[in-house]
């Protein structure tokens, strides 16, 4: 089992309710690894935080986007090259550990630029990346990830994608990306942990679920982070999870099957105690039942309709519930 961190295990410094005990229970039956796009911290610091929350974890269980990014970098430049690092301790330490020379100025003629998020990033850091990439247009540019947002204790904040976009605007080209939704970080995890049938748990459709799908892994979307019922129902066919759960306790519950029936010219989609009706382009609640089953039934109806979300009239009761 592989799990994202922000929005799945914790939000800010606090554990998400039921996450720790549910993951520890899973760990009694299988190997558990953690994947994070957050490039600002070392695996040791991440493991220390997870341990303080009550998880049984070591640094070897943490796969970071800097680790995946450095693996990509190693295939793009000669060993021992000088690299302009735009990032925090988590990225700097991985670049140095791989045998590269770390620099922080374009004046040192770096062989590549590698960029990741850290809370103290400012204009001067982004400007150095821009100077280096404009001075030497052919050098590689690797980004740890391009998440547009990051969940923190106070809410949703700008992520590394906004910072990469600023540099992109200045240099007119895009980086090679290592983190989710690209497959490099999933390949790093597979190489480290092995396993023939991994299950990935995430809270974002555009990075976690899309990435798992690209990597050929089954996925669980947990509705404790960035994306909620409304985003699930509107997910395109590349970003749809295998399973949907309200919180991680449901990892240990039987997953109900979707039963499709007909009622005249309508199609009914029943999951557990909830049923959703698809009639023409209208998607309505037929029986509310359990809140998470209602989201699952709504997703089955919308995804199975063959109609793009903007062509459907969706009952707000499918996504406005506060109990999921």
Chain segment 252-263, per-residue pLDDT in tens: 999 999 999 999
pLDDT bucket at 106, cuts 50 / 70 / 90: very high
With respect to residue 58, please indicate whether it lies within any of the assigned structural domains. Answer: yes
Residue 324 lies in a domain: no
* 96 found inside a domain: yes
In a domain, 323, yes or no: no
- Catalytic position from the list 6, 206, 227, 293: 6
Residue 162 in this model has a pLDDT that exceeds 70: yes
Q: What is the mean pLDDT of residues 128-139?
A: 97
Q: What is the mean pLDDT of the chain?
A: 94
pLDDT above 90: percentage of residues in the chain: 86
pLDDT at 210: 97
Q: What is the mean pLDDT of residues 24-30?
A: 96
Are 171 and 185 in the same domain?
no
CA angle 73, 78, 80 (to 5 degrees): 90
Distance, CA of 159 to CA of 106 (rounded, Å): 24
The last residue of one of the domains, among 249, 284, 308, is 249
Same domain, 160 and 144: yes
Q: Provide the pLDDT confidence category of residue 283 given band limits of 50, 70 and 90.
A: very high
* Over residues 294-307, mean pLDDT: 96
Question: Are 180 and 207 within 8 A, CB to CB?
Answer: yes
Q: Residue 127 pLDDT > 60, yes or no?
A: yes
Catalytic status, residue 208: no
pLDDT at 323 over 60: no
Same domain, 186 and 144: no
Res. 324 pLDDT band, cuts 50 70 90: low
- 247-280 per-residue burial string, b: 16 or more CB within 10 A, e: under 16: bbebbeeeebebeeeeeeeebbbbbbebbbbbee
Integer Cα distance of 2 and 22 in angstroms: 13
Query: What does the pLDDT read at residue 321?
Result: 60
For residue 53, the model assigns a pLDDT of 97
Which residue, of 197, 231, 249, is where some domain finishes?
Answer: 249
Helix-, strand-, coil-residue percentages of the chain, each rounded to 5: 35, 25, 40
87 in the same domain as 72 = yes
**For 158, phi and psi rounded to 5 degrees?**
-60, 140
58 and 89 share one domain: no
Residue ranges making up the domain that contains 92: 66-177
Task: Please tell me whether residues 92 and 219 are part of one structural domain.
Answer: no
Instruction: Return the CATH number at 143.
Output: 3.40.50.1000
One of 4, 206, 208, 293 is an active-site residue; which one? 4
b/e sequence 94-111, b meaning 16+ C-beta within 10 Å = bbeebebebbeebeeebb
The answer, yes or no, to whether residue 195 has pLDDT greater than 90, is no
Q: What was the pLDDT predicted at 93?
A: 93
| 169 and 81 housed in the same domain | yes
Contact (CB, 8 A) for 117 and 159: yes
Q: Let me know whether 195 and 57 are in one domain.
A: yes
Question: Residue 240 has which token pair?
Answer: 């749809």
Given a cut of 90, whether residue 152 has pLDDT beyond it is: no
- Does 93 share its domain with 104? yes
77 shares a domain with 122 = yes
35 domain residue, yes or no:
yes
**Mean pLDDT on 129-141:** 97
Question: Rounded to whole angstroms, how far apart are CA atoms 100 and 222?
Answer: 38
Band (pLDDT 50/70/90 cuts) for residue 63 is very high
When pLDDT is averaged across residues 283-310 and rounded to a whole number, the result is 95
Q: Which of 249, 269, 289 is the last residue of a domain?
A: 249
pLDDT at residue 322, rounded to an integer: 54
Please report whether residue 278 resides in a domain.
Answer: yes
- Please tell me the total count of domains within the chain: 3
Say whether both 186 and 283 belong to one domain: no
286 is annotated as an active-site residue: no
Output the pLDDT for position 208.
Answer: 95
As a whole number, mean pLDDT of residues 52-81 equals 95
Report residue 235 as tokens. 């997910």
106 plus 203 within the same structural domain: no
């Amino acid at each position: 089992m592989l799990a994202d961190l922000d929005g799945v295990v914790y939000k800010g410094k606090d554990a998400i309710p039921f996450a720790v005990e549910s993951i520890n229970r899973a760990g009694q039956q299988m190997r558990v690894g953690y994947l994070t796009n957050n490039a600002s911290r070392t695996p040791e610091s991440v493991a220390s935080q997870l341990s303080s929350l009550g998880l049984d974890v070591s640094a070897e269980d943490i796969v970071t986007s800097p680790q995946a990014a450095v693996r990509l970098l190693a295939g793009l430049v000669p060993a021992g090259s000088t690299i302009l690092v735009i990032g925090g301790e988590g990225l700097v330490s991985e670049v140095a550990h791989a045998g590269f020379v770390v620099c922080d100025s374009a004046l040192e003629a770096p062989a590549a630029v590698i960029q990741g998020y850290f809370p103290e990033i400012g204009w001067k850091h982004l400007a150095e990346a821009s100077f280096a990439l404009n001075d030497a247009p052919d050098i590689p540019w690797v980004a740890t990830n391009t998440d547009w947002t990051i969940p923190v204790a106070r809410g949703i904040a700008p992520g590394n994608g906004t910072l990469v976009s600023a540099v992109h605007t200045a240099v007119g080209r895009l980086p090679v990306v290592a983190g989710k939704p690209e497959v490099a970080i999933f390949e790093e995890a597979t190489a480290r942990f092995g396993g023939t049938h991994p299950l990935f748990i995430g809270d974002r459709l555009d990075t976690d679920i899309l990435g798992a799908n690209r990597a050929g892994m089954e996925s669980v979307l947990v509705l404790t982070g960035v994306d909620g019922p409304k985003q699930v129902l509107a997910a395109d066919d590349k970003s749809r999870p295998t399973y949907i759960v309200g919180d991680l306790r449901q990892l240990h519950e039987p997953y109900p099957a979707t039963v499709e029936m007909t009622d005249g010219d309508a199609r009914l989609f029943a999951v557990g105690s909830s049923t959703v009706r698809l009639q023409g382009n209208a998607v309505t609640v037929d029986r509310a039942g359990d809140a998470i089953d209602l989201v699952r039934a709504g997703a089955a109806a919308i995804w199975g309709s063959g109609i793009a979300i903007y062509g459907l009239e969706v009952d707000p009761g499918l996504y406005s519930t506060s109990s999921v």
